[in-house]
Structure 1
Amino acid sequence: MHNMFAYDFMETFRVTNQWLGASAKAFGAYPVHGLVANPAFQMISAWGEVAERAYGRMVAKPDWNINTVVAEDGRDHVVQIEKVVERDFGDLIRFKVLGRPEKERRVLIVAPMSGHYATLLRTTVASLLTDCEVWITDWHNARDIPVSAGKFDIEDYARYLIDFMRELGPETNVLAVCQPVPLTLAAVSWLAQYEPESQPKSMTLIGGPVDPDAEPTEVTDFGRRVTMGQLEKLVIQRVGFKYAGAGRVVYPGLLQLSSFISMNAEMHAKAFADQILRVAKGEGGDHDKHNRFYDEYLAVMDMTAEFYLSTVERIFKNREIARNVFSIDGKPVDMSKVTSVGTMIVEGEKDDISAPGQCVAAIDLLSNLPEKHKRVHLEPGAGHYGIFAGKAWRNNIRPLVLDFMDDAAGRAHKDRSSHVREGKRNHNETPRKPSGGMITIPV
């Protein structure tokens, strides 16, 4: 399956459906149809509008749309996005608030490379920007990276994180969301072991698979069943002729999207059927709830094949992070070397992507980190997205994370929720298992 034609076939299918949508939208909107009292024309036009937008979004990188922030002076301050470090496979970008005194908290958000762009964390960035100086890893779409740029696997990913942390300095508070959690843990441990002067002040690990076997899910079960050879043959393709990365071996974003949608196919089908009806009745809007969600959800990016396969093999199958046997460039990474980096673990009670137990496994790996530097929070009733972008994040988790960062920096701390205890987890109920799916790296 390692050929460009499979990749180009998927792209041809997408472009064809986008064209059909545009054609149906134009046909249904002919003025002459207004002479016939038949709602079929409105339905045709509505279907076309929804289809054209959906298939067009699959190859468009969403905008950040973070333009201003209200500061303590009550004024709107312009947010300027700056590239601090530029690399082939990803940049370190800063959201600089102009005209506002610099905040004490310096936060590096490590975004997932798991099928969606870093803009998936837009609301997380916006919520922290009012109280922090914020940087984020902005990973590039593999289809746009020439083959001449070389490979990019999980060791390369960890090296990028190490370089970004060096760039920002030891006062940085690192916050990793889901897929990058184990690699962030490894990068911080590497710095603690080999360059302690560059290690960050704290790290907050949110819903990530440090030990995928701690609480098995459908994703981890699948990883045990399928062999690496089967996985490579099933999902890996070469980028087609249309893009700058032509010939690069990738796990295509469109293939990942089909996997995402298959996990909740009925829900997505109903959402689009309802949206077509709303558009036909003139109730759909360019920025309505449906479009805000699916404009981001459908915008997928290709991952390099070596990154995807090495993640499955080394993180999920061999459990190198969980067993503390991970290495970078042949140098072993010993997580027990972390002795002063404050660490907070956040899990959602009903997280069906990275189940409770998978992320908190980091606490046992940090065996020489004093208990006073550890925090574990289990958010009652929260699913995966809620712990970094939803109501639970805004109202409960975010204040705790900010207080934790202040503690790590030695600033005055605030009272904590009863759900947070030093080095201990707080949940009693059995976590809900995911409803199924294919071979996706959790977001």
Structure 2
Amino acid sequence: MYNKLFSYFIILSGLFACTERPETDDDQALKAVIDSAFIFAEKQSLLMAEKYKDQQGRLPRTYENGKDVSSDSRWWCSGFFPGSLWYIYENSQNPAVLKYAELYTDRVEREKYTTDNHDVGFMIYCSFGNGYRLTNNKKYEDVMLTAAKSLSTRYRPQVGLIRSWDHNTEQWQYPVIIDNIMNLELLLWAATYSGDARFKEIALSHADKTMEHHFRPDYSSYHVVSYDTISGTPHLKQTHQGFSDESSWSRGQAWGLYGYTYLYKETKDERYLKQAQHIADYLINHPNMPDDYIPYWDYNSSDIPDTYRDVSAAAITASALIELSNYVDKDRASLYEHVAKVQVKTMASPAYTATLGENGYFILKHSVGAYPLQSEVDVPLTYADYYYLEALTRLREKI
């Protein structure tokens, strides 16, 4: 029986036999979807920005049971709303959006000194990193370099990885979660900016050991791997937010795909490209992947299909696939773009996009934070919006 990948190639070969046009009707339709999505995102996000502007130091987190849930900069998601504003500004050049992007980015600055968890990469690179990319603000350089130094303090050479968490020490000696792969981008930037090769050495050591120990033979990944602090080898592999220790927690799979995609982009190491391709193929061909490519919160949940989808996993996956399509052969690139386009169109539809003024002013609905903990289940989340806007931006550049 043909899998999804082979079937798609058969369809694709027929398409290439036709005369190609500079711009297809599908391209025009997709552009209209993207344009409409950004117009809505700007209106909705400006409402969000205005709501919190006088709440000193506060940032949106979610909207649950009809109530706003916010955080200060300490919450691991604090950089995502500022980052969303930067993507909206990039696509609209609206001065009002720029003003708020700068305001909310500044609210995260103190996290450049964070040394008690690995999320400083999320916090700082998504906010200050995008701000620097778009404005070349020299102050942002200093913030990011300081943050990279802070993140580096969590690296232990005898283990070869950046420690994720400091809690639950009775069970975990040196826990590393798959999410941590996302924070290496800050270190790679710092290596280039500062000329200090140690940042890159740390990032690549972490990437290599994660590739060795986090992934199963089918290229699904564990959520948490705890390492023995003496031998530097795993003593425990499990999940914290997934269905079971051996299941494929959907957002974790998306983190891995995204991480190895940008690792290849930055290093041009073919091992990382192959890893990203293997992960992508595993996800696209998973028997429990829905036809619209919006995954369930865990690919192995016992309640499929009667369980929650996780739009945050879809948004991360879509953004990664669009980027990955730049580095692979023509057939594979067409497949990855096809999947991402289906995801984007689905997320932009009323099934997942809120109406103006509702959903706590978040853009997307139906994300899942940590189902086993009954935390943030079927709610909007800032990182879903962020990676959705990034996916829209990347897709706009390709059509």
Structure-2-length-normalised TM-score: 0.28
Give the structure with the higher percent strand.
1
Q: Which has the larger radius of gyration?
A: 1
Q: Which has the higher contact order (CA 8 A, sep 6+)?
A: 1
Greater helix content: 2
